[in-house]
Structure 1
Amino acid sequence: MRAPRLWLWASLAAPCVAVHAPWHLGNGFELTVNERANFLSIAHRGRSIWETLPGQPFLSASAGGDEVIAANGNFKINEVDQNKCTGQEIRDVAVRSWQGSSNDHAALIQGQLTGCGDATHFSVAFWVPSQFPDRIAFSVKVDPGSSSDAATKLFLAYRSSPSEDFYGLGAQGSFASFKNQTVPIFSREQGVGRGDQPTTRLESQDSFFAGGDHFTTYTAIPQYISSKSRVFHLTQESSAYTSFDFTDPNAVTVRYDGLTLDGYFMQAENMLNGISMLTDYTGKMVALPEWVDTGAVLAIQGGQSKVNRIVKQGLKLGCPIGAVWLQDWSGTHSQSVSYMSLNVSRLWWNWESDTTLYPTWKEFVQSLRDLHNVRTLAYINPFLANVSTKPDGYRTNLYEEASKGRYMIQNSTTNSTSVISSGPGLDAGILDLTNTAGRSWFKEVLLDQVWSANISGFMTDFGEYTPIYSDTQFSNRSIDPFFYHNAYPREWAALHQWIGENVSSFSDAILFHRSSSMAANRHMNLYWAGDQNTNWGVNDGIKAAVTVIGHMGLSGYAHGHMEIGGYTTTWDSNGVVNRSSELLGRWGELAAVSSVVFRTHEGNVPEVNAQFYTNSTTYSWFGYNTRLFASLAKYRRRILETESKKLGWPLLRMPVIYHPEDEVAKAISYQSFYLGSDLYVAPVLDPGRTSVKVYFPGKNQTFTHVWSGKKYHAGQTARVSAPYGKPAVFVVGTPNNSDLDDFLQFVSQENNTLIHF
């Protein structure tokens, strides 16, 4: 670190006017400060990696509390900024001792924010962290001020460029790049429709904000990776509501609902390297067991006889089956929906087996394994429902036990459990993960009543409902609900890894999550893209599933999959929009060439949706798609064991990752993607189509269509044949490995197969 050289007036009442020579932060990083222009610049070995906008404040603050309205897990947030500071004065630049710095020091910049009543003090520290010497860590602190209209939130602004595009930020389903958008970071129900009409409007008319919008999501993560290979993320401790404003072509502004903000920024060599740098902090995802590679995970509800019948039928038809997912293992009940004449199938959140559907649960699970080598997956979430009205009874009412022990999040006004509604007749409490006794109690429940049946994992649902009311109370009274809300999904995932330490077969299990948060990936081995609608929609249908997995990959989540066929049955003026056989089949093709796990879902109204087991025709197409998935097992496994495990790279990769200078590739969300580096895929995502328009990105590259052998060239756009059963897949260049042999053999054997439905 350069010896301090400070240009200070005798009184801090007037601003400084000096320009500082570079401050050496360590490992080749240098900070330059121009106090007159309020300008900061950080370079690494002479290359600028981060800078503010000259002549403009890089920090601001505002008063007022954001307005949050919530119902049934739907949170609508209106940002409120009162008395926002309009000016900034740098008063001091100094070297300070700093724990965790590579050279034990940090550069500390202090000053005043002005134009907002009383001047408000701020400080910004920059240092090279000893644990991650390839990046800059920062810490921003703003004093609330002494006026009655005290600051409550801060803004950090820095330079971008018109050609820089932004990706990641969690499970985002509506846009390729977030340039020109403002992205809120808050985990919540994603809504039904999310902008697809008329679904969104009808849902929100029926229930508050139930349709959501383009940015409502189960998983919002405060990070991005840009097309310039710049990486920015907050720490897991900075978990308050945040928004990233990319609407200024020359700047990024991070608005944070708190007065202390910590994070990192870095310049990667390329976007894949950026993912590696991000996951050096967050951690890599936990390894997936190999049994998921070669068979389908069949979602079935209805009890032991139905499950046995469908499994036997599938095996007879030559469908590889890895597991059955029996989400109704704890029992079901019907939930009326005002806008449909049908009832929605919901689950009893009381984590014991249902004696009507599965009277010999443990023995049944073992028999599937012994007779057919088929594993069983269950379902768990952090809710505990009051089952006192369960028609066929129960052995233990976990809600009552947890209420007596105060193991669930409390309401300080009623001095009782904070009750969450998930629709008519489904009221529950949420496990308080700050309650040590409650965690231990829940651990014993799962070990005794869930894991004891020799299952191979479960859907680890929800995590985004944590209330943020003023009377929300945790066992740890120091917890602020507004800050803890975004952290809960990570703690929920970590809880299961802790419980898994007592399960001998845990490394052979899959636990799949839809809700996540910063650094939760280190506690997960699988996520899914959330609850899409059973349609062809852009924002919340089959297309959105691709976009979500693409952005999650750029958020550090390498192991993604989708629910084949979607989940949510919607309606329009013509009635119920059910899942067609064509949609189910095309979604199966998509999952086969995009996902790490091949899993179905019956949907929330199974009886109106085409199912893989509806008839021999649907099962035949599904079996074909499963074999297509299995043919890629060696290729996927090589990627998972090397690039994903060691580097954090995702299986599904948005085209921009390899072509950040290609303007067309930068705008591709769902139309095409890379599967690893050797395959390029352009799925059919519209009904009635037997061909697809494909853009081939980059320069000086060839793409060979696997079904026809025809070669296409980078920069070319072409219409490619894609009849049912033959998704448009291309080999990129001339890969020199044998991992694709099984896939290419499948293509050769099935090239004359005709799919009928």
Structure 2
Amino acid sequence: MIANKLAILLLGYVTCLTVAYGQNAVYWALGSGFEPTSSVRGLQIKEQQQEIWTATLPFVSASAGNDSVVGSSGSLDITKVDERTCTGQSITSIQNVVWEGSTTGSAVQVSGLLQDCGGYSNSYALTFWIPDDLQDRVAFYLDIAATADAANPLKKLYFRYHSHEDEDFYGLGGQASFASLKNQSIPIFSREQGVGRGDEPVTSYGNENGSFSGGNRFTTYTAIPSYISTDGKVVYLSEKSTALVFFDFTDPNAVSIRYDSLSVDGMFMRANNMFDAVEMLTAYTGRMPKLPEWVDSGAILGIQGGQSKVRSIVEEGLSLGCPIAGVWLQDWCGTHSQEGPYINISRLWWNWENDEALYPTWPEFVQDLRDTYNVRTLSYINTFLANVSTKPDGFRRNLYEEASTLQYFVENTTTNSTAIISSGPGLEAGIIDLTNDGLRSWFAEMMKTNVWIANISGFMTDFGEYTPVTWDTTLANMVSDAFFFHNEYPTLWAQYQREIVEELGLQDEAVLFHRSAAMSSNRYMNLFWAGDQNVDFGVNDGIKSAVTIMAHMGLSGYSQSHSDVGGYYDVLTYEGFNVTRSAELLGRWGEMAAVSSSVFRSHEGNIPSVNAQFYSNTSTYGYYAYNARMFASLAPYRRMILKTECAPKAWPLLRPPVMYHTNDERARQVSYQCFYLGPNLYVAPVLEPQTFELSVYLPEDNTYTYVWTGQTYSGGQDVTVSTPYGKPAVFLVGSASDIPELEAFLDFVKRENTTRVLVE
């Protein structure tokens, strides 16, 4: 059965909305007159006979009940509540309406009734138009009237449309646990991703006693409501639609959007392939700014401990042949000890000035690193200000007290004071209110005088996912309530920091890397960071998950990404279950980063003293230096891709195989096992312990030459290759050996092929 057609005159093409009565179809061209109609069985949007969107009745519904979002310290648990769900839908009219922002000044509006909503009926209107600034897609706006039942009003809507069992889905931000999102119902809500996310037993430990700090397979820092399918279809919600939303792919023949409000808007479109789909998506969201070229030259060393320690580790690395582009010194603002199982944990003082005990001559030290070693410095900043009144070595400014006095924090109306975020004993902080114009001016001035006063080259731009969602949360200029604002904050945070960088004229120098993101955050950040993974080989929250996150982020418009080399989260328990970083994991993670990421940056972890560090001994530093040299050797190739494909088209640097092999069923199911680095390298990193040979699936329609042996294989088969330490499975695709930008990497392979990497 064919459903309805909407005809839209567009760049010489006709896009049609069809209304079907049995076998008969009624066509309209947007801008032409519409006859009101009823008893319509369905709708379909086509362009040049290519289906864009199809739905059959009922495709709109609504329900009552307030969803529950509870938790603390950014760890939020969502429980869906659906009451009095409407069971029927009718269409009573289809007509032209005046519509600002459309190509013709008008739109097609489908209206009718939702029936059997707990004894009531509710009217709705679904409007389609072609945006005048993006004429290759169909915009929609669905609005459901408030219910007549004031005691139990409708609260959320459902919007359902056709799919088919062979359509797979990718994107929706930082999804860590799935290849295709088919068969999943994915919540879009920014929060702490959790420690474990389903990897056991660590998740259960995190979720003990009603806590949700372990998370699950759906928890993510990002809130990006956009996906791309293997049919080339692109669906996204607009920047204005920031409520909690579920994209439900569990029905093999349909997609359902469950949105926590009675109105939502977005767009549908269809591209020829998944690469064009990314371009179409980012024509709306924007594309990531240029990544400065200084990051290409080597590792960014994550170090804590003060000036003497940093200088010593830099000098040792240079003596071992480690190319060093920069250092990342998150403890520049000072640390304090926080009680934990077995051992105290070092936490940062979130008061944005240099700590005079660790970095007493901070501006001079930063400059000396650059002048003496050609090493740049990255620092750390986040959305919080911590109360430093108990800081034992003192402070010059207590920014928390200043902001509290000026009422620059997100506030709680019950207490009529700052909405306190507690991050463990001795650390209480407020979240800066980015809707407050006074805060924006005050904080920007503080950034210039406290943070950018040293010649740093950027920082980790942390958090963004912590704004409370309770009814008593308030902001200075709250257009909507805190529940809607929560998913907006990450984009505001990225935009705000980008504005400061541009005001200072540092856009060609500064690297600001974020883990939280929402719709269109990518237009303001030049580097995405995959967040905090466990220091293990886990699927849902270990090294494997970092690859999967970067793949889905790439299909969400984030072309430049990386992860913490070595991971972040250690887990120590009183029951004797511990997760700490081994030298092997650190080395294998470095291999993976060298051949996957835009930037090579390490992290000491949340409990550095229990982890193998790259500087622990000559073996770990040697392995790290080797991986940094591999990363640097790929710089000409990587930069070519960043300039010719990432910047102008938003094609991701790391590409899941499905992008090239859409009809290959095995390629569709690859999450972390392999990926393309640009178009010319095919990579299968070693992501299991004690693994020295790897079975690798090579997709069809190409040849693949294993760089470490020179052996060439035909696609469409599994091959087994040797993968000793230092040898991730990297293949040249087709005639890639002729590409000049790969010459430095092939020289590295030839020069270092006999290097013996030790793990001790």
Corresponding residue number in structure 2 for 1:391: 392
Q: Could you tell which deviates more after superposition, 283-292 or 708-717?
A: 708-717
3-state DSSP of counterpart to 2:239: coil
- Distance in 2 between residues matched to 1:419 and 1:33, nearest whole Å: 55
- Distance in 1 between residues matched to 2:7 and 2:757, nearest whole Å: 71
Corresponding residue number in structure 2 for 1:228: 231
Whether the aligned pair in 2 keeps the contact of 1:31 and 1:40 (CA below 8 Å) is: no
Cα shift at 1:463? 0.2
Residues 465-520 of structure 1 show CA distances to partners (whole Å, capped at 9, x for unaligned) of 00011110100143310001000000000001111133233321100000000001
- Distance in 2 between residues matched to 1:399 and 1:333, nearest whole Å: 17
- Distance in 2 between residues matched to 1:222 and 1:501, nearest whole Å: 28
- Distance in 2 between residues matched to 1:755 and 1:2, nearest whole Å: 64
3-state DSSP of counterpart to 2:255: strand
- Distance in 2 between residues matched to 1:218 and 1:586, nearest whole Å: 25
Unaligned stretches of 5+ residues in structure 1? 4-14
- Distance in 1 between residues matched to 2:230 and 2:37, nearest whole Å: 28
Corresponding residue number in structure 2 for 1:38: 41
Corresponding residue number in structure 1 for 2:527: 526
Q: How does 1:247-266 map to 2 (within 5 A)?
A: 247-266=250-269
Cα shift at 1:25? 3.5
Corresponding residue number in structure 2 for 1:90: 91
Q: Could you tell which deviates more after superposition, 640-649 or 711-720?
A: 711-720
Cα shift at 1:541? 0.2
Please, which of 188, 191, 201 is the counterpart of residue 188 of structure 1? 191
- Distance in 2 between residues matched to 1:475 and 1:306, nearest whole Å: 43
- Distance in 2 between residues matched to 1:2 and 1:506, nearest whole Å: 44
Corresponding residue number in structure 1 for 2:140: 138
Whether the aligned pair in 2 keeps the contact of 1:706 and 1:747 (CA below 8 Å) is: yes
Q: How does 1:97-116 map to 2 (within 5 A)?
A: 97-116=98-117
- Distance in 2 between residues matched to 1:141 and 1:515, nearest whole Å: 29
| Residue 666 of structure 1 pairs with residue 668 of structure 2 | yes
Q: How does 1:159-178 map to 2 (within 5 A)?
A: 159-178=162-181
Cα shift at 1:32? 12
Letter in 2 for 1:431: I
| Residue 211 of structure 1 pairs with residue 214 of structure 2 | yes
Corresponding residue number in structure 1 for 2:12: none
- Distance in 2 between residues matched to 1:90 and 1:610, nearest whole Å: 64
Residues 20-70 of structure 1 show CA distances to partners (whole Å, capped at 9, x for unaligned) of 6222238xx999999535311000011111101x3x311000111111112
Residues 444-468 of structure 1 show CA distances to partners (whole Å, capped at 9, x for unaligned) of 0000000010100000000000001
| Residue 592 of structure 1 pairs with residue 590 of structure 2 | no
| Residue 310 of structure 1 pairs with residue 313 of structure 2 | yes
Residues 569-616 of structure 1 show CA distances to partners (whole Å, capped at 9, x for unaligned) of 024654422111110000000000000000000000001101110011
Residues 695-733 of structure 1 show CA distances to partners (whole Å, capped at 9, x for unaligned) of 0113x3101101111112211011111111111000111
Residues 175-215 of structure 1 show CA distances to partners (whole Å, capped at 9, x for unaligned) of 00111110000000000000000000011116610100000
- Distance in 2 between residues matched to 1:2 and 1:522, nearest whole Å: 33
Residues 309-366 of structure 1 show CA distances to partners (whole Å, capped at 9, x for unaligned) of 00000011111101100000000112222xx201222100000100000011111111
- Distance in 1 between residues matched to 2:34 and 2:363, nearest whole Å: 63
Instruction: Return closer, same or farther for 1:390/1:32 CA change in 2, 3 Å cut-off.
Output: farther
- Distance in 2 between residues matched to 1:93 and 1:616, nearest whole Å: 73
Corresponding residue number in structure 1 for 2:73: 72
Corresponding residue number in structure 2 for 1:125: 127
Please, which of 648, 651, 658 is the counterpart of residue 650 of structure 2? 648
Whether the aligned pair in 1 keeps the contact of 2:301 and 2:324 (CA below 8 Å) is: yes
Corresponding residue number in structure 1 for 2:368: 367
- Distance in 2 between residues matched to 1:242 and 1:564, nearest whole Å: 32
- Distance in 1 between residues matched to 2:209 and 2:675, nearest whole Å: 36
Q: How does 1:407-486 map to 2 (within 5 A)?
A: 407-486=408-487
Corresponding residue number in structure 2 for 1:617: 619
3-state DSSP of counterpart to 1:486: coil
3-state DSSP of counterpart to 1:170: coil
Letter in 2 for 1:304: Q
3-state DSSP of counterpart to 1:265: strand
- Distance in 1 between residues matched to 2:473 and 2:381, nearest whole Å: 23
Q: Could you tell which deviates more after superposition, 573-582 or 71-80?
A: 573-582
| Residue 323 of structure 1 pairs with residue 333 of structure 2 | no
Whether the aligned pair in 2 keeps the contact of 1:17 and 1:35 (CA below 8 Å) is: no
Corresponding residue number in structure 2 for 1:685: 687
Whether the aligned pair in 2 keeps the contact of 1:31 and 1:41 (CA below 8 Å) is: no
Q: How many residues align?
A: 739
- Distance in 2 between residues matched to 1:709 and 1:207, nearest whole Å: 55
- Distance in 2 between residues matched to 1:464 and 1:616, nearest whole Å: 39
- Distance in 1 between residues matched to 2:477 and 2:51, nearest whole Å: 44
What is the TM-score normalised by the length of structure 1?
A: 0.95
Corresponding residue number in structure 2 for 1:21: 26
- Distance in 1 between residues matched to 2:128 and 2:433, nearest whole Å: 36
Please, which of 739, 743, 746 is the counterpart of residue 745 of structure 2? 743
Q: How does 1:149-168 map to 2 (within 5 A)?
A: 149-168=152-171
What is the TM-score normalised by the length of structure 2?
A: 0.95
Letter in 1 for 2:515: R
- Distance in 1 between residues matched to 2:21 and 2:95, nearest whole Å: 13
RMSD (Å) for aligned C-alpha atoms:
1.9
Instruction: Return closer, same or farther for 1:30/1:531 CA change in 2, 3 Å cut-off.
Output: farther
Instruction: Return closer, same or farther for 1:332/1:206 CA change in 2, 3 Å cut-off.
Output: farther
Instruction: Return closer, same or farther for 1:623/1:591 CA change in 2, 3 Å cut-off.
Output: same
Whether the aligned pair in 2 keeps the contact of 1:30 and 1:42 (CA below 8 Å) is: no
Unaligned stretches of 5+ residues in structure 2? 1-5, 9-19
Cα shift at 1:418? 0.8
- Distance in 2 between residues matched to 1:464 and 1:249, nearest whole Å: 32
Letter in 2 for 1:161: H
- Distance in 2 between residues matched to 1:30 and 1:733, nearest whole Å: 55
Residues 657-705 of structure 1 show CA distances to partners (whole Å, capped at 9, x for unaligned) of 111111111000000000001000001000001111100113x310110
- Distance in 2 between residues matched to 1:232 and 1:285, nearest whole Å: 20
Corresponding residue number in structure 1 for 2:569: 568
- Distance in 1 between residues matched to 2:182 and 2:211, nearest whole Å: 29
3-state DSSP of counterpart to 2:447: helix
Whether the aligned pair in 2 keeps the contact of 1:22 and 1:32 (CA below 8 Å) is: no
Whether the aligned pair in 1 keeps the contact of 2:342 and 2:572 (CA below 8 Å) is: no
Letter in 1 for 2:102: S
